[in-house]
Amino acid sequence: MKLIRIEKFWLEFCRILIQEDIFVAATQQMAVHFLLIENEAIVVEKVEIAVSDSTDDQIQILVDRSCNTRYFIFSETGLNCVSLNWVDDMRDSGKIPESNASTIEVLITHANEKGAKINGTALCLDRAPNSVSFDGPTCCSAMSNGTAFFIPLLSLPSVLCVAK
């Protein structure tokens, strides 16, 4: 009986491997970061996110291959950028500092208030097409009303821009 409850609870989470020993499990309101050590998963932190107010809204996680400590989590109504600031300190010292928590940047919120939904989000790691001003990685979100958000990732706060 307990296994069925655990499996049902676990199915409500979107899960993805960020690095070989770090994964995230997320719902519309929170993300939990895990560190894998041998055969155990240790909870490092739980962060609040603002992707959707609806429990029916499916979320997706997109790992940023240009920065191995950053990922994007999105639904039809919101897009967040999450930077795992604690990873480098953990790799250097073997300890996870409490003062260096993950940073969440809300990029799109409440998209459906204007009658549009996010159809998809992708990362472009090279030069932005037909642009003389945007170099480097960009995040592109296509909207159901025919518009799109084009977010140069180098314009995010400096803590989110560090590439490894």
Tell whether the model's pLDDT for residue 24 goes beyond 90: yes
What pLDDT band is residue 6 in, cutting at 50, 70 and 90? very low
Please report, in angstroms and rounded to a whole number, the separation of the first and last CA atoms in the chain: 45
Tell whether the model's pLDDT for residue 7 goes beyond 50: no
Q: What is the DSSP letter of 84?
A: -
pTM across the whole model: 0.78
**According to the model, what pLDDT value does residue 17 have?**
86
For residue 39, give both structure tokens.
Answer: 């055969």
Say whether 63 sits in a helix, a strand or coil.
Answer: strand
What pLDDT band is residue 1 in, cutting at 50, 70 and 90? very low
**According to the model, what pLDDT value does residue 82 have?**
92
For residues 128 and 130, give the distance between their C-alpha atoms in angstroms, rounded to a whole number: 6
CB 78 within 8 A of CB 50: yes
Query: Would you state the torsion angle of the CA atoms of residues 97, 98, 99, 100, taken in this order, to the nearest 10 degrees?
Result: 60
Residue from 74, 72, 84, 82 nearest 28 by CA = 74
Q: What's the pLDDT tens digit per position in 109-138? A: 776 666 778 888 888 777 666 666 656 677
**According to the model, what pLDDT value does residue 9 have?**
45
For residue 11, give both structure tokens.
Answer: 């199915």
What pLDDT band is residue 84 in, cutting at 50, 70 and 90? very high
For the segment 50-75, the average pLDDT, to the nearest whole number, is: 83
Tell whether the model's pLDDT for residue 33 goes beyond 90: yes
